[in-house]
Amino acid sequence: MAKGIETRERIISVSAQLFNRVGYHGCSLSDIMKATNLKKGGIYNHFTNKDEIALEAFDYNFKGILKSFRKRLDHDVTPTQKINSIVEIYAKLINVPAFEAGCPIFNTAVNASNSHPALKNKAIAAIDKLKKYIEIKIEEGIATGEFKDTADKKAIPAMIIMTMEGALIMSRVSDSLSIDIAIDGLKTYLKEKLFK
């Protein structure tokens, strides 16, 4: 029983990196078999098809992202600290080995947007969850007087996520300066639109 659970988890974790690196369509069952050193029966003993693996792999990757955020955010006290940490954590995702191919949320959203509705919906739900968290922190900051009353609770979370996701993509195809430029730009934006 324990060995079966361990094998299933290994399939998911290995597949999570494969899907994030080459996308759903770029990753074949043969690739998963090779990476896990399992035969087709060994994989189908735990999953009915590649779709099921892909959905589980996305959940695995998203939990990893949330873990990266929580590790820092759990120690922050104020909304200002939390907003700043979100930007900094995003910037450091590129240094997490599991996410060296980029943010799995955005990678999945792009890869599955026209071809895999279930994966696309998972990506949308993940983005919405991140946006909602930032929105709540902004509401808290307005209530405590840390943030401007005029702060746009919808636009600011979207700007943070779009800027940092774009920076992660650019850093993969260009250089790490993209991250620094994005952070500087966001700091200026947040100073003008959010922080007092």
- Mean pLDDT, consecutive 10-residue stretches, the chain (196 aa), reads 83 95 92 96 94 96 93 95 94 82 87 86 95 97 97 97 90 77 94 96
Which residue from 150, 129, 146, 155 is spatially nearest to 84, judged by alpha carbons? Answer: 146
Structure tokens at 31: 């690739």
Structure tokens at 35: 């990476």
Could you tell me the residue ranges of all domains in the chain? 2-193
Which residue from 186, 185, 180 is spatially nearest to 91, judged by alpha carbons? Answer: 180
DSSP state of 195: B
What residues form DSSP beta bridges with 147? 195
Write out the E strands in the chain: none
What is the reported pLDDT for 191? 96
Which residue from 1, 167, 172 is spatially nearest to 88, judged by alpha carbons? Answer: 167
Residues 6 or more apart in contact with residue 65 via CB below 8 angstroms: 93, 99, 103, 104, 105, 126
* CATH code assigned to 2-193: 1.10.357.10
Global pTM reads: 0.89
Q: Are 38 and 10 in contact (CB under 8 A)?
A: no
